[in-house]
């Protein structure tokens, strides 16, 4: 018995071979695999699968383009996008743009992949069945017009069929494990199912007097004192562009327990075009899985630090001659090895820092120190790099004497070094970088301005996100965590960080620390 036909497209032949083996083990015998998306499109013109799985990054045509063309051919078939962790934001944009059923990060978890494949195939079958029902209803309407003289008999007959169909539909809605909600374009709730009542802790009568932004929030109040609800704005924006869209990373408030439950809502426009039906999926279990995964990564990276540090120190003994003379070729090889180990140690430390911030385990060690002295120290460490690229590095400070602030000195230094280091990396030879520091109404403002290539407007919103590497025109070779950690540090101090940039003119990164001045002597 066939479990369904699956089309898998990926240019990585090793992955497609692994996938094919996994499918045979799980009993999926009807699996079609292509390593070229263009060939896969030709196949789709002749055959209709039950599920389409596509990689995101492919040379001939990326996953977004491929799935968009596949959607035109088979709008009802469920589609799953495979993506690397660093392309998570692009995956979410793909889902919202063309209505992809699910995205899965690589390397995938076999159990999670199989579960989503089965759910996707079931969804395709349900949509196909729904389409057939709709076509049958349309045929019935035409028959009513043709046989108007037998209206009473036909109405009675069709009514019985509709009652059966309605009973089936009501059963599906009432016993569905996911919450189902119907709203208008303004976000007013019109109808819910029992699962939605259980999720919110409110009855249908009460919910129908509320709006969706009164039960759904874009921020978790456990991490923020004042939760925000921008759900209605999202609906109004997306509803004008597409009939189906997905709202992710939401929190549904349960009025009985006071708990904020992580969820996502998949919306589809009803036939009148004025209302939307949404399926609310509880993501508590998935969030716990993500937490366990992050804990595992933190433990793993922590345990990697000791052997990496030992390896670096051992290589240093060879390079400084402590273990005897080495020839030039050996020195080059050992230097390369040490640089690779240092880069890996830097990545491990960055991942640990991300975990500390996101798990709430960061403790700021605030002291009173001279920010002018810290800036001079950073300047001395960065000057050799600037000179090697013939870049003018200029300091402009409003403080000629010491300026004492109350903050975490090590973390503030990390931010300054990161912003200035990025400016040096993205400024061409013979360029200029200006560092400004001033006090304004009790707030410290620090800025780094360069005359480099600048950043495209569409890339700016992603700069302070995890694993954001450069821009769409130029990618960095770093971890993509520097600006993300800088934002976390500044926001942990109660400040804010931002960027202003114009292509071919340069960029200016700034941060503001509020009321940090402890004792100041400004000349």
In this predicted model, what pLDDT tens digit does every residue of 224-241 receive, in sequence order?
444 555 555 555 555 556
Burial (CB count <10 Å: 0-12, 13-18, 19+), residue 174 = exposed
pLDDT value at position 317?
A: 78
Read off the CATH number of the domain in which 453 is found: 3.30.565.10
Domain count, the chain: 4
**Hey, which of 5-9, 138-142, 397-401 has the most confident mean pLDDT?**
5-9
By residue count, the chain amounts to: 523
Stretch among 194-198, 228-232, 333-337, 381-385 having the lowest mean pLDDT:
228-232
Same domain? For 384 and 446 the reply is yes
The pTM of the full predicted model, rounded to 2 decimals, is: 0.42
Give me the pLDDT at residue 392, please. Answer: 92
Is 210 contained in some domain? yes
- Residue 161: CB partners within 8 Å, gap ≥ 6? 140
- 288 inside domain: no
Q: Does residue 138 form part of some domain?
A: no
Q: Residue 157: inside a domain, yes or no?
A: no
Within this chain, do residues 410 and 493 fall inside the same structural domain, yes or no?
yes
Mean per-residue pLDDT over the chain, rounded: 79
307 & 265 share domain: no
Assess whether 371 and 513 both reside in one domain: yes
User: Does one domain contain both 383 and 267?
Assistant: no
Is the pLDDT higher at 215 or at 92?
A: 215
Look at 152 and 49; give whichever has higher pLDDT: 49
Examine the pLDDT at 130 and tell me if it is beyond 90: no
Q: Are residues 503 and 372 in the same domain?
A: yes
Q: What is the pLDDT of residues 60-87, one digit of tens each?
A: 888 888 888 888 898 888 888 888 755 6
pLDDT tens, residue by residue, 445-480? 999 999 888 888 888 887 877 655 555 554 444 556
DSSP 219-278: S-TTT-SS----HHHHHHHHHTT-SEEEEEEEEEE-TTT--EEEEEEEEEE-TTSSEEEE
| Cα→Cα distances 53→71, 75, 312, 414, Å | 12, 14, 43, 42
pLDDT in tens, 143-177: 767 766 676 777 677 777 777 776 666 666 676 77
At 95 the three-state DSSP class reads helix
Taking 50 as the threshold, does the pLDDT of residue 223 lie above it?
no
Report pLDDT for 53. 92
Which helix H or strand E contains 470, and what residues bound it?
none
CATH number of the domain within which 214 lies: 3.30.450.20
Both 418 and 337 in a single domain? no
Same domain, yes or no: 347 and 371: no
User: What is the rounded CA–CA span in Å between residue 463 and residue 350?
Assistant: 16
Compare 319 and 24 and report the one with higher pLDDT. Answer: 24
* Residue-range definition of the domain harbouring residue 89: 6-127
Q: What's residue 419's pLDDT? A: 92
Judge if 493 and 380 occupy the same domain.
yes
Q: What are phi and psi of 168, to 5 degrees?
A: -65, -45
208 and 345 fall within a common domain: no
Using the predicted structure, report yes or no on whether residue 187 has a pLDDT greater than 60: yes
**Residue 167 domain-assigned?**
no
């Amino acid at each position: 018995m066939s479990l369904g036909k699956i089309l898998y497209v990926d240019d990585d032949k090793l992955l497609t071979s692994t996938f094919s083996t996994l499918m045979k083990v799980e009993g999926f015998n009807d699996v079609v695999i292509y390593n070229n998306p263009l060939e896969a499109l030709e196949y789709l013109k002749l055959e209709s699968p039950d599920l389409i799985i596509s990689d995101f990054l492919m040379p001939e045509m990326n996953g977004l383009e491929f799935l968009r063309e596949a959607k035109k051919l088979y709008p009802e078939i469920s589609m799953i996008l495979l993506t690397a962790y660093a392309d998570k934001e692009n995956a979410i944009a793909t889902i919202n743009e063309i209505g992809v059923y699910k995205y899965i990060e690589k390397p995938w978890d076999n159990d999670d992949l199989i579960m989503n494949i089965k759910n996707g195939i079931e969804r395709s079958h349900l949509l196909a069945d729904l389409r057939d029902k709709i076509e049958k209803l349309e045929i019935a309407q035409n028959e009513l017009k043709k046989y108007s003289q037998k209206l009473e008999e036909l109405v009675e007959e069709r009514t019985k069929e509709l009652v059966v169909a309605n009973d089936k539909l009501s059963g599906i809605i009432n016993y569905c494990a996911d919450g189902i909600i119907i709203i208008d374009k303004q976000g007013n709730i019109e109808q819910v199912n029992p699962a939605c009542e259980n999720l919110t802790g409110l009855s249908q009568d009460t919910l129908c007097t509320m709006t969706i932004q009164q039960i759904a929030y874009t921020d978790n109040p456990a991490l923020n004192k004042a939760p925000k609800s921008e759900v209605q704005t999202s609906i109004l924006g997306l509803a004008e562009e597409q009939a189906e869209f997905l709202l992710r990373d939401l929190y549904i408030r349960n009025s009985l327990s006071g708990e904020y439950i992580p969820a996502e809502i998949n919306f589809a426009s009803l036939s009148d075009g004025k209302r939307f039906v949404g399926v609310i999926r509880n993501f508590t279990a998935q969030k716990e899985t993500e937490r366990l995964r992050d804990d595992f990564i933190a433990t793993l990276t922590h345990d990697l630090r000791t052997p990496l540090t030992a390896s670096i120190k051992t290589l240093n003994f060879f390079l400084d001659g402590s273990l005897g003379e080495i020839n030039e070729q050996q020195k080059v090889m050992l230097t390369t090895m040490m640089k690779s180990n240092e880069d890996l140690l830097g990545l491990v430390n960055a991942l640990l820092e991300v975990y500390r911030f996101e798990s709430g385990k960061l403790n700021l060690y605030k002291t009173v120190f001279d920010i002018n002295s810290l800036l001079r120290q950073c300047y001395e460490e960065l000057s050799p790099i600037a000179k090697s690229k013939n870049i003018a590095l200029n300091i402009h400070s409003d403080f000629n004497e010491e300026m004492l602030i109350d903050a975490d000195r090590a973390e503030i230094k990390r931010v300054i070094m990161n912003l200035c280091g990025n400016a040096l990396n993205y400024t061409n030879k013979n360029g200029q970088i200006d560092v400004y520091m001033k006090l304004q109404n009790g707030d410290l403002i620090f800025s780094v301005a360069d005359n480099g290539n600048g950043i495209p407007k569409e890339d700016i919103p992603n700069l302070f996100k995890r694993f954001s590497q450069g821009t769409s025109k130029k990618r960095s070779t770093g971890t993509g965590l520097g600006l993300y950690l800088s934002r976390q540090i500044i926001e942990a101090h109660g400040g804010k960080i931002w960027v202003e940039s114009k292509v071919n003119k340069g960029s200016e990164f700034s941060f503001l620390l509020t009321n940090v001045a402890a004792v100041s002597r400004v000349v």
